[in-house]
């Protein structure tokens, strides 16, 4: 929790990349200044990343993909204001009973991103929220970028699989089986992406194997 809050009803949290301020129905996300970088370069990077994130939110929201509604952007400050999606992190509610249903919905959302040429790059169960009506939303596009490359989309899924395996090992296989089945149905380029995923996973296994002998 940050000190010197401007208003009593405002909650602020500082992360590695940005400060999030929550007030009423709005979230303010301001990218942190990186003091170890040259000021000119840092300003340019913050503006660029802020602009990309806002464009991604705009595109996804217009396409009906459940994400926070973008409201305003201030590139000079690296600031985005957006709708506050109130809900619980999927990380805290995912279990064996709901894993198949949740996996299907997550797959539909991820396929929606990939169909729009957007790679999230941080697909974890902390970046999905479930609201009181059981709707699932995807959040935090701070690392996201535009790409049509099968490799990038495959890495996206690989990162999700690693996150599930790490945080929810008891349902990992069940979740991913349902996810991949639904992703195949909803993603336009699923065949190519999943073929590339096999290569990505092989590289991962090879790296782990070489590390174990080092």
| Catalytic site positions | 122
Residue pair 1/12 in contact (Cβ under 8 Å)? The answer is yes
Element holding 83 (H helix, E strand): strand 79-83
Sheet harboring 128-130: ordered strands across?
A: 88-89, 128-130, 136-138
Of 179, 187, 184, which Cα lies nearest the Cα of 105? Answer: 179
Q: Which two tokens stand for residue 188?
A: 């336009």
DSSP state of 144: -
For residue 42, the Cα-to-chain-centroid distance in whole angstroms is 23
- End-to-end C-alpha distance for the chain, whole angstroms: 41
Residue indicated by tokens 């690296």 = 78
Q: What is the largest CA-CA distance in the chain?
A: 55
Q: Which two tokens stand for residue 48?
A: 């660029």
Q: What is the rounded CA–CA span in Å between residue 72 and residue 144?
A: 18
Tell me the pairing of strands 136-138 and 18-23.
Answer: unpaired
Residue indicated by tokens 């990218």 = 31
């Amino acid at each position: 929790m940050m000190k010197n809050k401007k208003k009593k009803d405002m909650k602020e949290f500082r992360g590695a990349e940005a400060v999030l301020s929550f007030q009423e129905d709005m979230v303010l996300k301001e990218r942190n200044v990186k003091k170890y970088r040259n000021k000119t370069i840092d300003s340019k990077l913050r503006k660029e990343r802020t602009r990309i994130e806002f464009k991604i939110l705009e595109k996804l929201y217009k396409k009906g993909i459940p994400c926070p509604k973008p409201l305003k952007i201030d590139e000079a400050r690296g600031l985005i204001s957006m709708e506050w999606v109130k809900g619980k992190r999927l990380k805290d509610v995912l279990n064996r009973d709901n894993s198949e249903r949740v996996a299907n919905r997550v797959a539909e959302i991820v396929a929606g991103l990939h169909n729009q040429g957007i790679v999230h790059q941080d697909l974890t169960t902390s970046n999905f929220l479930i609201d009181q009506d059981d709707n699932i939303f995807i959040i935090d596009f701070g690392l996201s970028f535009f790409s049509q490359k099968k490799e990038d989309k495959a890495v996206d899924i690989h990162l999700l699989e690693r996150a599930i395996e790490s945080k929810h090992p008891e349902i990992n296989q069940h979740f991913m089986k349902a996810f991949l089945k639904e992703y195949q149905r909803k993603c336009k380029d699923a065949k190519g992406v999943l073929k590339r995923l096999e290569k990505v996973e092989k590289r991962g296994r090879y790296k782990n194997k070489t590390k174990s002998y080092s």
